[in-house]
Amino acid sequence: MKWNWGTKLMLAMAAFMIMVILFGIRMFREGVELVEKDYYPKGQAHQQLIDKRTNATEFSEKIKLTSVSGEVKICFPDELDPSKINGEVHFYQRVNEQYDRFVKLSVDTAHCFSYPSTSLKGRYIVKIDWAYDGKAYYTEKTIDLP
């Protein structure tokens, strides 16, 4: 069978259309997760978050985040009274929402908060939303856990 230029053109167009259709089917089957389910209200409150971050820079020491012997330790500055610190810690993993953890902040007398890292694997953004003596603060740190 002899193939002329019209037959070759039709085969190339058909192959291209099949490729586009298969790509479209694959895209519709892909799961798309939003970063935040309620992103619009959080976007409206973004100025409050900026103010909290600015408040957190007023201390002479920064919050320290370490991973030691199966625990994630968050240590607050020594100038703060541990009994006046309260808030929430969000272990946020960008890959999958199932691995996120929300923990109530409870600081011991050594100015540190400990959380077991046995259930945490991979890279996490630790979002610390806390208050001290009625003033709100916010800090984000990144940690890689084995």
Closest CA to 65 of 85, 89, 86: 89
Where are the chain's structural domains?
Answer: 39-145
Q: Which CATH code fits 39-145?
A: 2.60.40.10
For 71-102, what is each residue's pLDDT tens digit? 888 888 888 888 888 899 999 988 777 888 89
Whole-number Å distance between alpha carbons of 32 and 26 = 12
First-to-last alpha carbon distance for the chain, in angstroms, is 62
pTM above 0.85, yes or no: no
Q: How does pLDDT run across 14-66, given as a tens digit for each residue?
A: 999 999 999 999 998 887 666 667 777 777 788 888 888 888 888 778 888 88
What percent of the chain stands above pLDDT 70? 96
